[in-house]
Structure 1
Amino acid sequence: MMKDTTIILTKLRELMQLVRVRDISCISAYIVPSDDAHQSEYQCQHDERRAFISGFDGSAGTAVITRNSALLWTDGRYYQQAEKQLDSNWILMKDGLTTTPSLGVWLAQNLPRGSAVGVDPRLFSFRLWKPIENELNSSDCHLVPIENNLIDEIWGENQPPQTFNPIKTLKLEYAGVTVAKKWDLVREKMQEKKADALIVSALDEIAWFLNMRGSDIDFNPVFFAYMIITKDQLLAFVDSEKLPTDFSSHQTENEVQIKVLPYSSIGLEISRIVSTKGRKIWISPTSSYYLTALIPKSQRLQEVTPICLLKSIKNDVEIKGFVNSHVRDGIALCQYFAWLENQLDHGEKIDEISGADKLESFRRTQDKYVGLSFPTISSSGPNGSIIHYHPTSETKRNITLTDIYLCDSGAQYLDGTTDVTRTFHFGIPTEFQKEVYTRVLKGQLTFGSTIFPAKVKGQVLDTLARKALWDIGLDYSHGTGHGVGHFLNVHEGPIGVGIRHMPDDPGLQENMFISNVYS
């Protein structure tokens, strides 16, 4: 449903005129990213600022508000959704098209020289900050950190509260490796890089390393925390009331002592650590500009964290859990699709929402089930072309014998995470539908059966999946595959398969899991 954003845009522009930062009396533009303070792909409701200001609730997109314009950049997965959700105040910028300028270039070309552009530095990664800053500087404009988030000021009392749900421990029968062993592996990498401390802000990296899980973000078993690792200290910045009741025995089982500090004290601790001259601090370029700027440039080591790569290579216990969880998940899927076909054959009316609910009910009966890994994409007919479509009471269609039905769904189990897409036609498909389906299948079979050297990047292998479609002039405007976490985020870096360059992709290695195939 389209949201009228006129009033909130007016309020934001009024606040932009009141901003006072250093010698700046106002800002000419304000950037509202999708991210939270941990640069998470998915956010809790408290952090859905871009959705609040624009009405567009896809998982990827950046809003820019100037004194006279409001623009939203998003990629090909969300073109259709954005067109349906943005009201007349907004201009959709189709990121990825050669005709679409980048956010920084557009601002540099359209703002008066000397303009200031504001953004919350906690919600913007250092990697994104620097190129936009450089593009703005080329026209004598400036990117400035605004620490009081303007969207929060407008949202006020109606903003959902921050989630700080209880944390649970993940037993070694599921995790496979103790925290002590993981710490040893990280310290080895730190020693190689001569790093004195490692700053960790990615929530899935923290949950994996500590063998703990949470529920602060829907569908993602993570919890809000930061972590600092040194040679002899393991610091967790998390509100102590969230800690599991068995936290003490968890430390004993994992052969570590974890020092717990308040979540809000991460900035103070980084400042304390860097006050000792000569210390080298390892921080990911995907961490926030706010955290990174606390570290003097001469003391920074900006590389993807060792935890990111270690997490992506599954251990033997995790692999066994992945296999077992997919077997149980497959049972639920077979039950659902058999039930659905039978209902349609008997003339029953099943819509996209009731179908998704039925599938979830089958999954709930499976052992070790925790919840869904993302909202089920149950889409009939034209809705199937909306890449991350979520049926609502306004958009839902019936699943019929004459339309294609696409079901993209997954679940979280204690021993693994699943993500499975299947496309059905319960009647008689057209010749074109059969040809396209066959060509997509050919691509997946070619990709899944190809033998290739270790560390070949997903961007190279992506062509194998697309070639059969390219042969007849067709393509798809989204990725081919992505890494999958172990009872963690359904989208997991640093690997992926797609046309876009992934700057931290180390290449596919043995025991990595991607949504297409286990490598």
Structure 2
Amino acid sequence: MRSTGDVLAALRKLMANLPNSQGSINAYIIPSEDAHQSEYLAKRDERRAFITGFDGSAGTAVVTENEALLWTDGRYYQQASKQMDTNWTLMRDGQPTTPTIDAWLAKTLKPGSKVGVDANLIPTRAWNPLQSSLKSAGCLLLTISPNLIDLIWKDQPVAPRNPIIPLSVEYAGRSVAEKLVAMREKMTDKRASVVVVSALDEIAWFLNLRGSDIDYNPVFFSYLLVTLDDVYFFVDESKLSSAVNDHFRANKVELKIRPYGDIKEALKSLAETCENRVWISLGSNYALSALIPEEKRFHEITPINLMKAVKNEVEAAGMRQCHIRDGVALCQYFAWLERCIKERRSVDEISGASQLEKFRSVQDKFMGLSFTTISASGPNGSIMHYHPLPETNRPITDKEMYLCDSGAQFLDGTTDVTRTLHFGTPTEEEITAFTHVLKGQIALGTAIFPRKVKGQFLDTIARKALWDVGLDYGHGTGHGIGHFLNVHEGPMGIGIRLMPDDPGLEENMFLSNEPGYYKDEHFGIRIEDIVQVIPTSIGDNFNGRGALCFRTITMCPIQTKLINVKLLTDKERNSLNRYHQTVWETLSPLLKKANDAETLAWLERETQPI
């Protein structure tokens, strides 16, 4: 645990005497995001982690003259409590007794107080209600520049300048020119002269490019401004190789390349001179939105967002194929891990995660991991987004549950899978909890639902089996997943929280199905598959609206020794048996071809019907 006293003192000194004669502020908000509202960050953008000591992916810090608080959700309560020192107060976001940030500030600050935030790091969707709430309390929300954390972070890493690589149409399925035509059709429909694209995965997908500026996320720092005549690409030109230039020529698209830092000046000029509206997402940072005259602002998710979420046939095929290769690596790892434990060979969370990466790395089209592997033994499994560090590393044994949440990037897709196992004799409590998680997972995985239903309405399906016995979990049930892109992808999802941009589920969207249960300081259980939304038929198909269901594309057995079969219905048991039969029929030929008799024997045993 790192002491934060000195950096808080330095921050408060700046708050009392802001640079550039901006006066003083009574509170400073430090969001988690970067200027592109990314979930995962480059090292130089981990400002909230620097000031708080908490390095989880979600949370917002607020510092006043006398207090320092962190709001984060149920995924990170344990982690934040362990990582933050006594200078900080944990605000358990989502709990009924926890006030929102704006409510806390309105109640705590005196009328006339000033609250500051870097407008580059806060989305317009968050700025607007925060500003209104503070105004109602007689307080003022100010944009502060430069960022105060940058001024006190003496060894802040430099911005990454990694090369950008092209992704061929063989994997992307559609050329940039085709995407641009579709984009401009949407612009014409919405009477938009300009579309502002600031989300990094949207830019990478639209241009059929990939990068490595953020660990595990194949994206690169850039902006796009698309007009009815031109495409402006704001990027560090040193990242562009001759292969990228050849790629644009092959895709029959001409880009006007500008320096990354010129985005604001260019947007302001286009916004002032364009004939119609400027299309910008509420998820883009407020600093960009503020440059557009209010009467010209058109706030809606960009057309790219939905185009990217609904995979084309080439992307969909790639997603299915990469999950098969990923399944081979997972089975090899779990078979290897079981043998190590039986032979009393030392293996721990870190060495286990390293071995899993080795198995994945030899698979065709492997490009890296899609996130830091959650390799969690015993009580570490109860920390939902745990990742092993030398100071927390535990051995993996036959005495405790083991939770492994991992994924990979392939040229043809992205994977994310969680399996929970016990290599000895699980307790009755562990078996009962696991079985109820499985019941919820099967219920969601076999659900039939109307076309365009929003994911929020499916969440209860996965929780009901747990709720029936008084259990629950503090994270969402499903997230979208990118195609050789971010492992978490919107705009759709399945969870209790409202997702304002969710357009409703459509064919060829891919999401996770991952209910869980976590007993603090004891064990964690999560079962996660990636599912593809596909059409089906039932009755009158919801009065002609259309019926959809899920196809599970993850290929890895679910450990049956953790199941109390008596708690399963015939439908649930048959569903699991069919899944295991599919896994066996899909993976066994590949293991035979690889002459991997050990993993083949493990797979045959683990896919036996119950």
1:351 equivalent in structure 2: 348
Question: One-letter code of the match for 1:28?
Answer: N
2:6 equivalent in structure 1: 7
| Contact 1:196–1:281 (Cα < 8 Å) also in 2 | yes
Q: Secondary structure, in 3 states, of the residue corresponding to 1:30?
A: strand
Question: 1:452-467, aligned counterparts within 5 Å?
Answer: 452-467=449-464
- Alignment deviations for residues 182-212 of structure 1 (CA, whole Å, 9 cap, x no partner): 0111111111100001000000000000000
1:484 equivalent in structure 2: 481
Question: One-letter code of the match for 1:14?
Answer: K
TM-score using structure 1 length: 0.98
| Contact 2:234–2:261 (Cα < 8 Å) also in 1 | yes
Question: One-letter code of the match for 2:292?
Answer: I
Instruction: Answer yes or no: is 1:242 the counterpart of 2:239.
Output: yes
Between stretches 240-249 and 228-237, larger displacement belongs to 240-249
Mapped to 2, the partners of 1:384 and 1:20 lie a distance apart of 45
| Contact 1:169–1:244 (Cα < 8 Å) also in 2 | no
- Alignment deviations for residues 326-350 of structure 1 (CA, whole Å, 9 cap, x no partner): 1111000000000000110111121
> Where does the alignment leave 5 or more consecutive residues of structure 1 unmatched?
none
Give the Å deviation of 1:11.
0.4
Question: One-letter code of the match for 1:214?
Answer: G
Mapped to 1, the partners of 2:110 and 2:407 lie a distance apart of 48
Aligned length: 516
Instruction: Answer yes or no: is 1:18 the counterpart of 2:17.
Output: yes
- Alignment deviations for residues 75-123 of structure 1 (CA, whole Å, 9 cap, x no partner): 0000000000110000000000110000011011111110111111101
2:122 equivalent in structure 1: 124
Question: One-letter code of the match for 1:319?
Answer: A
| Contact 2:193–2:274 (Cα < 8 Å) also in 1 | no
Mapped to 1, the partners of 2:443 and 2:19 lie a distance apart of 57
Instruction: Answer yes or no: is 1:448 the counterpart of 2:445.
Output: yes
- Of the three residues 312, 315, 318, the one matched with 2:312 is 315
Mapped to 2, the partners of 1:295 and 1:197 lie a distance apart of 11
- Alignment deviations for residues 467-501 of structure 1 (CA, whole Å, 9 cap, x no partner): 00000111000011100000000000001111111
Q: Secondary structure, in 3 states, of the residue corresponding to 1:43?
A: coil
1:45 equivalent in structure 2: 43
Q: Secondary structure, in 3 states, of the residue corresponding to 1:429?
A: coil
Q: Secondary structure, in 3 states, of the residue corresponding to 2:434?
A: helix
Question: One-letter code of the match for 1:179?
Answer: V
Q: Secondary structure, in 3 states, of the residue corresponding to 1:398?
A: coil
Identity of aligned residues (%): 59
> Where does the alignment leave 5 or more consecutive residues of structure 2 unmatched?
514-530, 534-610
Mapped to 1, the partners of 2:363 and 2:32 lie a distance apart of 34
Instruction: Answer yes or no: is 1:261 the counterpart of 2:258.
Output: yes
2:500 equivalent in structure 1: 503
Question: 1:125-274, aligned counterparts within 5 Å?
Answer: 125-156=123-154, 158-274=155-271
Question: One-letter code of the match for 1:301?
Answer: F
Q: Secondary structure, in 3 states, of the residue corresponding to 2:490?
A: strand
Mapped to 2, the partners of 1:376 and 1:276 lie a distance apart of 48
| Contact 2:301–2:501 (Cα < 8 Å) also in 1 | yes
Question: One-letter code of the match for 1:402?
Answer: K
- Alignment deviations for residues 426-466 of structure 1 (CA, whole Å, 9 cap, x no partner): 11111111111111111111111111111111111011100
Question: 1:326-341, aligned counterparts within 5 Å?
Answer: 326-341=323-338
Give the Å deviation of 1:278.
4.3
2:416 equivalent in structure 1: 419
Give the Å deviation of 1:25.
2.4
Instruction: Answer yes or no: is 1:409 the counterpart of 2:393.
Output: no
Give the Å deviation of 1:252.
2.0
Instruction: Answer yes or no: is 1:518 the counterpart of 2:532.
Output: yes
Give the Å deviation of 1:244.
2.5
Give the Å deviation of 1:26.
0.6
| Contact 2:163–2:211 (Cα < 8 Å) also in 1 | yes
Q: Secondary structure, in 3 states, of the residue corresponding to 2:439?
A: helix
Question: One-letter code of the match for 2:359?
Answer: F
| Contact 1:169–1:247 (Cα < 8 Å) also in 2 | yes
Runs of 4+ in 1 over 6 A off after TM superposition: none
| Contact 2:272–2:292 (Cα < 8 Å) also in 1 | no
Question: One-letter code of the match for 2:18?
Answer: V
Question: 1:32-111, aligned counterparts within 5 Å?
Answer: 32-111=30-109
